[in-house]
Amino acid sequence: SLKSYENTQNTSDTTLNRRTKSIYTPLELQFMEMKKQYKDAVLCVECGYKYRFFGEDAEIAAKELNIYCHQDHNFMTASIPTHRLFVHVRRLVAKGYKVGVVKQMETAALKAAGENKSSLFSRKLTALYTKSTLIGEDILRSEIWFQILLGDSVDVEEVTTDVPDNYLLCICENGENLKDRKKGDIVIGIMAIQPTTGEVIFDSFRDSASRLELESRVLRLQPVEIILPSSLSDQSEKLINSITSM
């Protein structure tokens, strides 16, 4: 009808899918806003009794978790039950993905009793997991529960005390104001954190162009993740690439 056409024409570009010419649903718009903030993360969005993936995240989940993915409105989508969330989070993190968990900030009961019962559930990113930060009570509970489901005997103390050395390493450099500086010489600062135990290791040292000092520290710590500055010297970058490729 003419009225519906005019409404479509007046719709903001932010609510209209230019490719399909269909209007984004409120949930899709909510997801798009969150994805803008966490572009490099696979987002699991709580929707009732399921966690849903959208768009490219859904295709990644379908491939890595061996679950069904299909078109729903404007996005590909896939879902997992809430009680299996952290089993799948572990699998995605093990594959090298950064995983964000987006939870509903309201319960269905409270929403039904409130004034905004017809509006969209408010949602918020509550956790962001990587190889070095896969910690927390929820993760621990899921691991114990998963082992019980498999019929394995579980020693809770053993699970809680068997903590791997999952160091998160940060590296920074400063090549200015060095006395007797040779080509490639630099001062390097490192900080390694193990989130599971709270252990912190830090050091600052002068290194030559061969970066032997940096190499020895990285190999000793064996970090599962490394945070690098936006600009890194060619010698350091070459060393880090060499270590991580192995």
Is 102 among the domain residues? yes
Shared-domain flag, residues 177 and 237: yes
Shared-domain flag, residues 198 and 110: no
Shared-domain flag, residues 178 and 241: yes
Domain of residue 221 covers 168-245
Shared-domain flag, residues 30 and 123: yes
Is 213 among the domain residues? yes
List phi, psi (to 5°) of 73: 60, -115
Q: What is the pLDDT of residue 59?
A: 96
Shared-domain flag, residues 122 and 178: no
Shared-domain flag, residues 38 and 123: yes
Q: What is the pLDDT of residue 218?
A: 94
In tens digits, the chain (246 residues) has pLDDT values of 334 334 444 444 467 777 666 788 999 999 999 999 999 999 999 998 999 999 999 999 999 999 999 999 899 999 999 988 988 998 999 898 999 999 998 777 666 666 666 678 889 999 999 988 887 555 555 554 555 455 544 444 443 344 456 899 999 998 666 566 677 788 999 999 998 788 999 999 999 889 999 999 999 999 989 999 988 888 999 999 999 887
Is 198 among the domain residues? yes
Look at residues 78, 106, 129 and tell me which one is the last residue of a structural domain: 129
Look at residues 100, 129, 158 and tell me which one is the last residue of a structural domain: 129
Shared-domain flag, residues 38 and 114: yes
Q: What is the pLDDT of residue 181?
A: 64
Shared-domain flag, residues 105 and 189: no
Is 63 among the domain residues? yes
Look at residues 129, 158, 189 and tell me which one is the last residue of a structural domain: 129
Shared-domain flag, residues 174 and 124: no
Q: What is the pLDDT of residue 1?
A: 36
Q: What is the pLDDT of residue 179?
A: 61
Residue 193 bridge partners (DSSP): 168, 200
Calpha distance 221→198 (Å, rounded): 15
Q: What is the pLDDT of residue 153?
A: 47
Is 214 among the domain residues? yes
Shared-domain flag, residues 35 and 111: yes
Q: For every residue of 21-36, which 3-state class applies, written as one string?
A: CCECCHHHHHHHHHHH
Q: What is the pLDDT of residue 138?
A: 56
Shared-domain flag, residues 40 and 103: yes
195's CB contacts (< 8 A; 6+ apart) are 132, 133, 135, 166, 168
The count of structural domains within the chain is 2
Q: What is the CATH number of the domain that holds 178?
A: 3.30.420.110
Task: Tell me how crowded residue 15 is: count the other CB atoms within 10 A of its CB.
Answer: 13
> What is the token pair recorded at 50?
């399921």
Shared-domain flag, residues 182 and 113: no
Is 140 among the domain residues? no
State the sign of the Cα–Cα–Cα–Cα dihedral 78, 127, 109, 142: positive
> What is the token pair recorded at 245?
């490729």
Calpha distance 52→79 (Å, rounded): 4
Q: What is the pLDDT of residue 116?
A: 66
Is 15 among the domain residues? no
Is 2 among the domain residues? no
Letter string b/e over residues 80-105, b meaning 16 or more CB atoms within 10 A of that residue's CB = beeebbbbbbbebbeeebbbbbbbbe
Task: Tell me how crowded residue 54 is: count the other CB atoms within 10 A of its CB.
Answer: 23
